[in-house]
Structure 1
Amino acid sequence: MECAAKGSQRRCSGSANLRCDGCGAVFYCSASHQISHWNVHKEECGRLKRQMGCVELLNDFPFTFSREATYQVCEKVETRCSLLDKLGIHRAGIWICECSCGSSVFSLDHLRSEMGWRLSSRLCPCKEPLSILKKQLCSWSDYYEWRGIPLDSPVALLLHWPLTIYQAIQLAFAKQSIIETTDELCIHYLGPERELYQTDVFGELHALLPGVQLHIDFVGPAVPHDRDGETIGLYSYAQCTEANCCCKTPKTEFSSHTNTDTSSKITLRFHSGHYHDRYEELTKEFLPDLIIAPNAGIAAYKSWLPTIELIREIEIPAVFSDYCEEACHLAANCIRSVTGTPLTIPVQLNPFRQPLAVEDTALLLPCYSNCFLFGI
């Protein structure tokens, strides 16, 4: 942990081992640093204490590996690498971005040659569901039961991307039932990073949004310049490892194209740069129905300010996520300072957050990818 007073006028004296007795969420390198930082910390101490009281709720997942992926990663008994290794997916194919040692060696060409889940058909959703969704999914348990996947399957570690899109749509259009009344949906997806190398998993939106022609524009500085303007069509689901599985038949074979084939139910397009700089170009063909920004970090990056101003002007619903509740609180303050209005979708726990804790966080609060959702 870093000293909460790091960056102040006084230099840190050593490791941050002194924990705040009030909130239990921050550490200091010395009593003098803790005292000098109190004028700053006192405004957040009570709020962080309340958030620390929700640790059990944040760590509540139904999987057989849940304790290792949550408490033990937070307590450094496990690492993301060691858990992925136990699950048999460490540095394998599209899983390679999920740990620091993997993300340092992966390449786009490597991933393009190793598509699919790298799991047996028993453990992954590689084909059509047995039944169409008849009610809204509300938890990972709901999803796994519907898809007939056992709770020892690690696919939720990647499926939090499409399931968060699903949840964002439910929140943004809760009063309009848009999924029941539309056959086409355009989403502007801001700030993608790991998702750029895990596009296979977005094929699950075929099952989640049946009958909907989906256009998703990935927009952000992390999009490589050589992918700017690229279009990929997702025609089916990510495949399993079994050679004789029906997911390998020509009828359902996964394929991608760098063209504008409109027959695809799911089209992904890539745009490098900030959203406010690319918006006019993006909307020449489709106006967005929804804007989604995963793990946004609004309070951490000044580049969000002109984007928030743009979203206010165009009046398109926008749903954001972040790693912890405190980051969402700070984001809400930033949004209010720009728009002059409170959030239209209050901060709330995402039932489809990634069930693997983030390592080495600034606060002791458990952090998960797509952990909390809020919107304007």
Structure 2
Amino acid sequence: MNWNALKYQLKAVRRDKLCILTFLLPIAVGLALNLLSDLNLSSAAEPSFGILQDDLAPEAAAWLQKHGAVTAYDTLGSLEAAVREPSTQTIGVLSDGSGIRAIRAGDEMTRTAVTADLLPRLYADRGLMARYEVTRLPSAADSDMMKHLLIVITMVTAMFMGCTFNAMNIISEKEDGILNINQVLPLTKARYTLQKLTVGFLGGTISAAVTALICMRLTAGQLVPLLLLILLSAFIAALSGLFIAGFSESLMMGIMYIKLVMILFLAPPILFYLLLPAGGALRALTYLLPSSATFYGLMKLLNGSGSLGNELAVLAAHCAVWFLLYACVSLGRRKSLT
């Protein structure tokens, strides 16, 4: 390893604004998630009711407060304006003799519309609930799933930093003519690839490790599996940057490839995790995408469920296969040029 050349590559990071943004953005998002860790996202699903001041019976108002947020308005006009406001999804509730009636704008979300339509009947039948014994089963907070998804997306983005740097740095060297200078220097192709791979790998590893330190709370026994997961995933991301640089003829094309690969790294694993049952044949096929193993492994760590043996083995196999494929492609291109 030529350490002077490696220092030069590290200095190039400071000139690459996209690389710096990719490195710092996950850390900033991790800080935000850490600060908002006590936020209960389930409150967004709580119904919002609007009533007129001194219109409903106290029993009806108390019943509404048990099932959602209640806001009292002075006039019917202000209540109707609140109901028509799309951002609030407020259901208007007025007295109707011994019962209640609901008013809505007509363009609400399906959940809000169904709640408004059933509300008068639910209030009329409220006495039937006293005949039955209701037992609430304990469950985790509703917001845990959303928080874990945000953390995992942030972690995968941090690991992707190596891909961004390697691709942008090599493409910039192509356009600036530095790549031609490297060809006449005593620098072998293998050493050049190793330098690029090392810088991207270190950047992705450090970014992901700092992000994990900020927004993940793990036990001592989970630290080693997390570190292995980060190392393997960062290596694959750095290697993908070399592939992108090899197939990109211009900076704009490289940026387009980076965005496509990043979407491929992030979007499919989320859909696979939410839609496909764990342990099924279809879920097993999703391991053909390396980021799926990273995604599943991080979710296991956050949920505290199961070991990461399968995920680490899949990532190690991906590292070997993609590295051998890159070596074969590089040898094939070298032979075609000679």
Query: What TM-score range do you get, normalising by the shorter chain?
Result: under 0.3
Q: What TM-score, normalized to structure 2?
A: 0.23
Q: What TM-score, normalized to structure 1?
A: 0.22
Normalized per residue, the structure richer in strand is 1
Computing the radius of gyration from Cα coordinates, the structure with the larger value is 2
